[in-house]
């Protein structure tokens, strides 16, 4: 990790959840960090996420769809952590064009800029497990058929494959990490656009019951954000990662009802209730899902370190202290 000392790093989505946590770690390693974020309200960027490192990073408020701004920002950078994206599966179904513009077209534009202005850059692209769709088998490995169930999954897949294409054809070193359910301090909690776990934590702090859709038996795996940051950093440094796709995941598999129980046990007066699936969510629900992450473990030596219970405790404590910075409790 000493390789990051004095390295010039660009993070798209840098004021968002994962980007801000990544920035904090890179600053501690001595990197020269530039953050790009549109700060469009529904996409998760929050200036408070970098409150403690504000004076140690450069922030550019611009949109990854702005090709001219991105061309300027990419020049001279050693690493690009390409995390910006439209993450809401529901929004992708109601506004598919915007999802296409951000998650596919903008990614192609960024790669073209790298090809022309900075072909020596290393790129790590944040992809998603959503593109697998409903699993044929569990755990899901990288050989599983790709079958997205929503517009977001299709566009993220296109963005991912653009990165691999530019690696294979033009030698722009790039890889993709297919993230599963990432959680922790800085995640969007005002609604469920980024992760349902965020709105669960908000409801818990506000004294409202957690709503678990269906029977709560759906299985999931979760990664605490610190573990995801480590995966991003390791992938960026490794030549073995170039041109590769890696699943992230966890050996700790939990049902959603069980997860709700774990949370409410940590908050006096907490409760949850089983509710019927909303129709718009039911049609894009993928059922049980958890990843096989043996490929990244064997190739790069990464595996998650944070137990789920510990990660939930840290997340709940963070929002109990800072909730005013993430939602208006009066509404």
**What is the phi/psi pair of residue 115, to 5°?**
-60, -40
Q: Give the per-residue pLDDT at 331.
A: 42
- Answer whether residue 20 shows pLDDT above 50: yes
Q: Give the per-residue pLDDT at 193.
A: 62
Say which residue the tokens 């991105």 belong to. 70
Q: Give the per-residue pLDDT at 330.
A: 42
87 pLDDT band, cuts 50/70/90, is confident
pLDDT (average), residues 118-139: 96
pLDDT tens figures, 287-303:
899 999 999 999 999 99
pTM over cut 0.85: yes
Q: Give the per-residue pLDDT at 1.
A: 62
Rounded to the nearest integer, the mean pLDDT of the chain is 93
pLDDT tens figures, 214-225:
899 999 999 999
pLDDT tens figures, 36-85:
999 887 667 899 999 999 999 999 999 899 999 999 999 999 999 999 88
Q: Give the per-residue pLDDT at 284.
A: 67
pLDDT (average), residues 20-33: 98
Highest mean pLDDT among 37-46, 140-149, 194-203, 271-280: 140-149
Dist CA 180 CA 222 (whole Å): 6
**What is the phi/psi pair of residue 254, to 5°?**
-140, 140
Domains of the chain, start order: 2-182+222-247 (3.40.50.720), 187-220+252-289+307-325 (3.90.25.10)
Q: Give the per-residue pLDDT at 287.
A: 86
Closest by alpha carbon to 202, among 193, 214, 210, 212?
Answer: 210
* Choice among 54-58, 89-93, 317-321 with the minimum mean pLDDT: 89-93
163 pLDDT band, cuts 50/70/90, is very high
Q: Give the per-residue pLDDT at 195.
A: 77
pLDDT tens figures, 170-182:
999 999 999 999 9
- Answer whether residue 109 shows pLDDT above 50: yes
* Choice among 61-65, 107-111, 247-251, 309-313 with the minimum mean pLDDT: 61-65
Highest mean pLDDT among 187-191, 214-218, 241-245, 267-271: 241-245
The length of the chain is 331
Burial class (CB in 10 A: 0-12, 13-18, 19+), 151: buried
- Answer whether residue 90 shows pLDDT above 90: no
Dist CA 304 CA 278 (whole Å): 32
pLDDT (average), residues 132-159: 95
Dist CA 291 CA 238 (whole Å): 22
238: how many CB neighbours lie within 10 A of its CB? 17
pLDDT (average), residues 320-328: 90
Dist CA 132 CA 122 (whole Å): 26
């Amino acid at each position: 990790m000493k390789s990051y000392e004095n390295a010039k790093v660009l993070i798209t989505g840098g004021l968002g959840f994962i980007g801000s946590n990544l920035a904090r770690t890179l600053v501690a390693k001595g990197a020269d960090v530039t953050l790009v974020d549109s700060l469009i309200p529904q996409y998760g960027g929050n200036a408070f996420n970098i409150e403690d490192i504000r004076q140690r990073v450069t922030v550019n408020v611009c949109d990854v769809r702005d090709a001219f701004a991105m061309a300027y920002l990419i020049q001279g950078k050693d690493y690009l952590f390409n995390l910006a994206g439209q993450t809401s599966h529901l929004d992708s179904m109601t506004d598919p064009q915007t999802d296409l513009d951000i998650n596919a077209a903008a990614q192609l534009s960024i790669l073209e800029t790298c090809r022309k202005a900075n072909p020596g850059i290393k790129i790590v692209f944040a992809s998603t497990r959503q593109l697998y769709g409903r699993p044929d088998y569990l755990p899901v490995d990288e050989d599983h058929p790709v079958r997205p169930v929503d517009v977001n999954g299709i566009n993220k897949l296109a963005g991912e494959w653009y990165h691999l294409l530019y690696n294979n054809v033009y030698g722009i070193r790039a890889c993709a990490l297919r993230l599963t359910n990432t959680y922790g301090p800085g995640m969007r909690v005002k609604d469920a656009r980024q992760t349902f776990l965020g709105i669960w934590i908000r409801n818990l702090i506000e004294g409202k019951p957690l709503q678990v859709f269906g029977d709560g038996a759906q299985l999931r795996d979760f990664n605490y954000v610190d573990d995801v940051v480590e995966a991003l950093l390791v992938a960026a440094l490794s030549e073995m990662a170039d041109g590769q796709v890696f699943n992230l995941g966890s050996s700790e598999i939990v049902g959603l009802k069980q997860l709700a129980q774990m949370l409410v046990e940590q908050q006096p007066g907490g409760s949850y209730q089983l509710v019927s699936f909303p129709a718009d969510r039911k049609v894009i629900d993928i059922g049980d899902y958890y990843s096989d992450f043996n490929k990244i473990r064997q190739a790069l030596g990464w595996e998650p370190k944070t137990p789920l219970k510990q990660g939930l405790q840290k997340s709940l404590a963070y929002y109990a202290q800072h909730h005013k910075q993430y939602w208006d409790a009066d509404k």
